[in-house]
């Protein structure tokens, strides 16, 4: 059964630290207008969609405040117009932002907004926070202070269904009094509403995150990111010897590697949206582009051509996810969970004993 859907990544170019929220919002709305004109049904925005990548800066509590969303993301004056227009256009959105909870915790968060339901149907909080808590001693180093500003996500890796993106003979009526349980029968899998999962930036480098979503049947994994083009202080020994061009090339290679590898190994589509470009005119603040849509065979079906605002669009068939899941990656027949104990019990590396 064909399950075609038109999806897009909304790549966003440089956003300066002092850019007004309304200026940035206007750019996001322009990308949404373009998506509507091209018949897009699902649009994925980058990590921290509405602002510059502020974790590179050492900020006081007062300076941090303008970058945080403290009220409802769909109702705040700085963000509501995006969701209102998406509802009018009947386009679903994945949107990232810095969420401050009523308890005072701050998370690097993204939400899935369903136009059919006119509201948020799923929320994800970034789990794998990179970088450091304190800035580097070298004043010329590019900092990555997510561990300073954010709390690790507490919502886990949860897949969910999006209403109305594809024809679905198994969609339950809203009036159903006795909802069915999870779809475990293979003959019914791949016939319900589209199944999605969300990741944020550094999460895409961790295969456990993708596998957790794939085990729930995720057919599309959406990921927004802000990734430095040249950050030797974070990359380790040897990185400082790379030229700026070599460093950016390597960062783009690793970005594409995890998109393609994990899409293939989990038989799913991925949509990856970058914040990119040179923020504040400072070359060491440059972020890579590389927004792309990848199919379940690991093939790039659409990719960004620029380092600025750009819509990356592809029409895909979610039925293609079934191919790998029926053969090479038939988890039910081939996974051996009894052999994977270390993955769920150990964090750091523990080497074997030294030889005598």
Catalytic residues: 47, 126, 201
* Token pair in block for residue 36: 């509507």
According to DSSP, residue 175 is labeled T
Write out the E strands in the chain. Answer: 4-11, 42-44, 92-100, 106-114, 119-125, 160-162, 194-200, 220-226, 269-275, 277-278, 286-287, 292-294, 300-303, 310-317
* Cα distance between residue 173 and residue 178, in whole Å: 10
Largest CA distance in the chain: 71
Q: Which residues, including other chains, have CB under 8 Å from residue 311's CB and lie 6 or more apart?
A: 8, 9, 10, 11, 31, 34, 35, 38, 40
* Cα distance between residue 261 and residue 245, in whole Å: 24
CA dihedral 245, 207, 295, 324 (to 10 degrees): 150
Q: From residue 60, give the alpha-carbon distance in Å to each of 53, 65, 148.
A: 15, 9, 11
Q: Which element (helix H / strand E) includes 153? A: none
Closest CA to 219 of 248, 244, 202, 195: 195
At residue 165's C-alpha, the angle toward residues 116 and 214, to 5°, is 115
Residues in the chain: 356
């Amino acid at each position: 059964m064909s399950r075609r859907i038109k999806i897009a990544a909304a790549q966003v170019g440089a956003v300066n630290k002092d850019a007004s929220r309304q200026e940035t919002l206007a750019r996001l709305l322009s990308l949404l207008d373009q998506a509507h004109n091209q018949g897009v049904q699902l649009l994925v925005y980058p990590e921290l969609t509405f602002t510059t990548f502020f974790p590179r800066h050492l900020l006081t509590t007062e300076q941090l405040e303008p970058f945080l969303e403290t009220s409802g993301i769909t109702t705040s004056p700085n963000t509501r117009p995006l969701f209102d227009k998406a509802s009018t256009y009947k386009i679903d959105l994945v949107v990232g932002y810095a969420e401050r909870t009523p308890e005072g915790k701050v998370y690097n968060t993204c939400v899935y907004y369903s136009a059919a339901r006119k509201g948020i149907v799923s929320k994800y909080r970034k789990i794998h926070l990179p970088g450091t808590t304190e800035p580097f001693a070298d004043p010329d180093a590019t900092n990555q202070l997510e561990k300073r500003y954010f709390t690790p996500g507490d919502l886990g890796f949860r897949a969910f269904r999006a209403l109305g993106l594809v024809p679905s003979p198994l969609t339950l009526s809203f009036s159903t009094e006795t909802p069915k349980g999870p779809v475990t029968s293979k003959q019914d899998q791949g016939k319900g509403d589209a199944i999605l999962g969300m990741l944020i930036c550094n999460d895409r480098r961790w295969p456990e995150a993708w596998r957790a979503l794939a085990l729930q049947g995720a057919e599309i994994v959406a990921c927004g990111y802000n990734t430095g083009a040249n950050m030797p202080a974070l990359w380790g020994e040897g990185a400082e010897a790379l030229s700026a061009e070599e460093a950016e090339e390597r960062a783009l290679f690793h970005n594409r590697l995890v998109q393609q590898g994990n899409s293939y190994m989990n038989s799913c589509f991925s949509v990856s949206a970058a914040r990119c470009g040179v923020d504040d005119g400072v070359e060491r603040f440059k972020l890579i582009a590389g927004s792309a849509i990848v199919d379940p065979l690991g093939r790039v079906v659409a990719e960004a051509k620029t380092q600025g605002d750009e819509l990356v669009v592809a029409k895909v068939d979610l039925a293609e996810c079934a191919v790998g899941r029926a053969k090479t990656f038939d988890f039910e027949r081939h996974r051996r969970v009894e052999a994977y104990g270390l993955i769920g019990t150990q964090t750091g590396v523990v080497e074997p004993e030294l030889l005598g």
